[in-house]
Chain A
Amino acid sequence: MEGKETRDVGFFKFLSEEERAEFARVVEHTIFEPGEILIEEGGEPAGLLVLMSGQVEVNKRVPGRSDRLLAVLEPANGRAIVGERGLLSDSEASATVRAKGTVEAVKVPRERFRAMIRGGHPVAYKLAYHIARILAERVARLDEEVVEIAREIERRGETDLDAFRDKLLTEWTI
């Protein structure tokens, strides 16, 4: 992939001109056909995919049920990357990512990225830091969702009267 193209990818805007040029040497420009799998759930992590155009579906297998659609991602809605967890860790892919239509993406292969880290390339650390921030924000969102789900589970099966009794016996014990 040419450096000019890498410069045009919004995701890499946190890098300087020189750093993007450096990355251009390691990234791969890839086209996925409609229905083609970008990442397979349970598979070996392959690297980071930065979407340039098209849409992808993220699905998770649910035992005994049909797959659950977690998200539809596209560059336009600001959700432009997949496989970021696999870039940094050794854990297998947690969901399947499939192209909805034709998808154009830039791939940062995991092994090349790891080699850059081992080589002490600042640009690799910069990418790692950027991804860590994205993951941190996601964890914060997940925490909120977990709390809400926990509340939902607690409420499930509790009658209005149970909830009222609990309130009177805890919060409003006088």
Chain B
Amino acid sequence: MPRNAWPLTGWDSFTVLWNISFRGVACERIIFSGLRCERGDRLSFEDTNYFFGRAMDVMDVGGNIEDLLVTPNRSVSVKIPLEMDDGHIRVFEGYRVQHNNARGPFKGGLRFAAEVDLDEVQSLASLMTWKTALTQIPYGGAKGGVTVDVRELSKGELERLTRRFVNRIHEFIGPQTDIPAPDMNTNAQVMAWIMDQYSTLHGHNPAVVTGKPLDLYGAEGREAATGRGAVYVIEELLRDEGRDIKETSFAIQGLGNVGFFAARFLGALGAKIVGVSDVSGAVYDEGGLPVQEILSHVSGGGLLEGYTGGNAISNDELLTLPMDVLVPAAIGNVINESNMREIRASYIVEAANSPVTPKADEHLKEKGVIIVPDILANAGGVIVSYFEWVQNLQNFSWKEKQANTELHAKITEAYHEVRKLAKRRGLDLRTAAFVLAIGKVGKATVLRGIY
């Protein structure tokens, strides 16, 4: 079921390679063949801090506490020398930012992309702190990355780069210290190399990393978790809003790992999906698209481009269609100052990280659009990563049904907490989510003490 849905971001790439690796198809075909492996607009620490700061203003907490919570605990920056296949040496930059561990070991993905820099990694690490706190999983927040265009690497070079990176940061990670996971352009195979390299240095320890292949201590349900979690949240949202999912129209931007599964599960619930897109284009039908047919079309590794049903529209048009719920499930900053006035959806569910810029968020909030924030809507991935870690620590494995049940309990509880606080204090859902997360990290920080 490999899906060639560009741009590959976050779990998109992970899914493609995961599936391919289990179907015996060469990874190189996707990741090293020269196909574009794009990324969204760079996410800045400043933008993440805007939403954090907005919540801090509501809480009226002093500047010193804000400094304490916003500043990463540790930022590790390393040089990774790599002997290329042709014998020449290149030196890559790598980062691991450990933002906060008041609530537990640092947790967050590891991305390989040409635009990775410390500022972006800090931003993503901070988001992880609030995401793990909001969903009440016992982790802090971290993120890592290597500044590399993976299209330029052979599989062997990628493996050596990964292992050398582990050598550089192994003292800072561990099953009770910091647990990496897949992110943009890293996949289950990369996680397997990380586990192996770490185990070489510290002894067998699969719990040092999550998102591993199913045959190597991976967890059932992990692959679909982000999309599934987003749909669980959508179901609760519509129930609260008194809407029937069958009478509600959706558009899904991105058919990577998150969008693909979101579309599949929404389709299974009878939702009317009027628009979908991937990097190659978008299709629209106000009467509802045949979702399973589209997913079958792209699941063979194809692009939406070749799909003949529906009306072809541009990717930009997809975002401004008349619809009830917009699910941005690909790259960041897609709803921004340039198109915020044309958005016609009543609800936006952020299945991707930071798809709405601060300016657009303020505008849409004024307009009355309800936005379910990324730290809630796409938390399914890290929640099931947590389940994988728990299973690894227990030397036990769950069936997918158990993972899905536990995921449903965790993510809907977080949703209801956010919704309740938002209603009680007259807040938008994003601010309420940040307030809750800050409260949980804050309480842990206070109990631990500062000295």
**A interface residue numbers (CB < 8 A to B):** 160-161, 163-165, 167-168, 171-172, 174
Contact = CB atoms under 8 A, between A and B. Distances in A.
Contacts of B450: 161
Nearest to B417: A174
Contacts of B445: 161, 164
Contacts of A171: 59
B61 A167 contact: yes
A164 B61 contact: yes
B442 A164 contact: yes
Residue with the highest number of chain A CB atoms closer than 10 Å, among B417, B421, B446, B450: B446
18 contacts: A160-B62, A160-B64, A160-B68, A161-B65, A161-B449, A164-B61, A164-B62, A164-B442, A164-B445, A165-B443, A168-B439, A168-B442, A168-B443, A168-B446, A171-B59, A172-B439, A174-B421, A174-B439
- Chain A interface helix/strand/loop/mixed: helix
A161 B64 CA distance: 9
B60 interface: yes
A164 B448 CA distance: 13
Interface in B60-97: 60-62, 64-65, 68
A160 B65 contact: yes
B446 A164 contact: yes
B202 to A, nearest CB: 35
A161 B445 CA distance: 9
A172 B435 CA distance: 9
A148 B445 CA distance: 29
A96 to B, nearest CB: 41
- Report, nearest first, the 4 A-B pairs whose CB atoms are least far apart: A165-B446, A160-B64, A164-B65, A168-B442
A163 B439 contact: no
Interface residues on B, range: 10 to 19
- Chain B interface helix/strand/loop/mixed: helix
A161 B446 CA distance: 6
A160 B65 CA distance: 7
A32 to B, nearest CB: 49
Given A160-B64, A168-B446, 10 more contacts: A160-B65, A160-B68, A161-B446, A164-B61, A164-B446, A167-B61, A168-B443, A172-B59, A172-B439, A174-B421
Given A161-B446, A164-B446, A174 B436 contact: yes
A160 B62 CA distance: 8
Nearest to A159: B450
Contacts of B417: 174
A99 B223 CA distance: 86
A171 B59 CA distance: 8
A164 B439 CA distance: 10
Nearest to B62: A160
Given A160-B64, A160-B65, A167 B449 contact: no
A120 to B, nearest CB: 56
B437 to A, nearest CB: 11
Nearest to A173: B439
Interface in B235-252: none
Contacts of A163: 62, 65
Nearest to B435: A172
A164 B449 CA distance: 11
Contacts of B60: 167
Given A160-B65, A174-B421, A167 B59 contact: yes
Contacts of A167: 59-61
Contacts of B420: 174
Contacts of A160: 62, 64-65, 68
Nearest to B447: A165
Contacts of A161: 65, 445-446, 449-450
Contacts of B59: 167, 171-172
A164 B65 CA distance: 7
A174 B134 CA distance: 12
A151 to B, nearest CB: 14
A164 B55 CA distance: 14
Contacts of B435: 172
Contacts of B64: 160
Contacts of B449: 161
